[in-house]
Chains A and B, each alone.
Chain A
Amino acid sequence: MMKRELVIIGAGPAGLAAALAAYDNGIRDILIIEREKRAGGILNQCIHDGFGLHKFKEILTGPEYAYRYLKKVQERKIEIMTSTIVTELRAEKYLKVINEEIGILEFKADAVVLAMGSRERTAGGISLPGERMAGVYTAGLTQNLMNLQNIKVGNNIVILGSGDIGLIMARRLTLEGANVKAVLEIMPYSNGLNRNINQCLIDFNIPLKLSHTVIDVKGKDRLESIIVTEVDENLRAIPGSEYEIECDTLILSVGLIPENELSKQADVQIDDITGGALVKDNLETNVPGIFACGNVLHIHDLVDYVSDEAENAGQAAAKYIKSGHKWRKNNIFVEAGDGINYVIPQLITLGKDLEFSMRVKKPASDKTIKILNNNELIAKNTFKKVNPSEMIKINLAKEKLLSLKTASIKVVVE
């Protein structure tokens, strides 16, 4: 068994940024474990642009964004072990991994950063009736096949779900000559960024059908058509509104789920809403020395924010390695109140400037996000528009928390 100071699981944007931050905070013995052949994670297949505006003040494509981080990691000679799968992670920061060439290896780390990213929700996860047949793909898989493996998925296409990957794929498929007949969204609003609705759908005259979903799929071995229905405000099918769309391919873009199987093995506590770990303001989980960042913690819409978050995790891991675990006093719980879906971190401490990431439940305009303690206002921020698809960040200066009445604060939108 090999001893390492810091082991980072995943060499996507979160893992790379966490490694850089740990290095720049004095840690030299760092190992990044990556299951794919290349570092870069999901960015490798995100060949469209729109990344980096916040971090680099430039608009980059996904592979370019990954490359900038990878270069810095290589300059610092940080070790990345590719084609390696972690099969076991324990709370004592013990890891068992399998490398394609070397075989099984065991590590004992002082600290671990979880940066495994997310996986896609599949048809099974969203209860799609009809038989399993060829021609039904998830959006991320379609993206991988098209952009990395040069495999075309079909000609006549319907996309279910208007999340960003679905919108991006609507454009990508159109550019490559496919006929994208519609994007269906069960909610009365889109889950994608405005920019993507404009540049991916409106630019190419692809209809976005809100409050619509698929109730059946038809075909023998290959998909031949789908039955679509309108839904009411309770998301129930409106009888009589069904119609058929002929298509050979249905692409599901129905969301991402943090990939936390390994975290659970290590007794990391998971938040039911985010699907990621419960974390303190230094992104440490309930297990001392195990930190989480990026999409494994909660789903982000901008990679720039993943990098920011991962830098905090890397820095905190470095601090942990150098000074050991300290039992924290003055813990304050953070609660997601009315209109707020979730807030990260869930546990904070006094004496620190804080940054919260959150999502609202519904789109709305002219709203105020308030931070309350014992129903008294301690901070607020107003927004012209709030949208579940856009993560909101709010900073809170440490002075604001000096005279708390109870050991919890609540975030609400009014």
Chain B
Amino acid sequence: MQKVSTAVIAAENISAWYGSNRAVIDISLGVNPGEVLALIGPSGCGKSTFLRCLNRMHEEIDHTRSEGRVLYKGEDIYSDDVDPVAVRSCIGMVFQKANPFPTMSVAENVAAGLRLRGGFSRSEIESRVEGALRKAALWEEVKNKLRAPGTSLSGGQQQRLCIARALAVQPEILLMDEPTSALDPISTGRIEELMTELKKSVTIIIVTHNMQQAARISDQTAFFLMGKLVEHGNTEQIFNSPTREETENYISGRFG
């Protein structure tokens, strides 16, 4: 496959279990650098689980396991000599619900990954915090309240703060699990805008239940159904001329 060879991250035959329940079934899927891949599908079809397999977060839940390979720049992140901690510092994650660290200020939140990892000078941290906040399109709004508690920001700002927090450690890939599903349309729009800017420097894989959002922001779209990958292709093609009937049904809103 030509796609896999150029992909910055590619899953190969990934399956994932919760106990004996197989939530992801034999999925192979890759993204090219600088592209946005959207994962769509009805709820419970394994999008989040698949996403969490891509930075080894799935294994942090008790009684789970996975099979298959995930090649990040050609190297399998599941091979025995790879430290999951190192994997996650290259492949960051933003969650559905904004969750700033509660006892930390805006600046401390963004700096948390760097501070706790250690080895960064104060000025380096400061410039990275500003850089990350700018990339998350939040700098102008918070530059005068960097010391305010992170939780004092509005919902949309908190989510962008979480994006900044993930960006500060400078991952090459950002996994986003329904990052706007809890936000109002204006905040959602702002995050969509910043994603088109972001994809110049990071590759993004985003789970979304919002068809329009997937159509607006992604280059590639993958449609999941009951743990399986049904169809994957250019976003335009998936939305305008899907090859599979299930995809068409889902996109036209006939189920899901």
Are A and B subunits of one complex? no
Which positions in A face B, CB cutoff 8 Å?
none
Where the two chains meet, the residues of B that have a C-beta atom closer than 8 Å to any C-beta of A are none
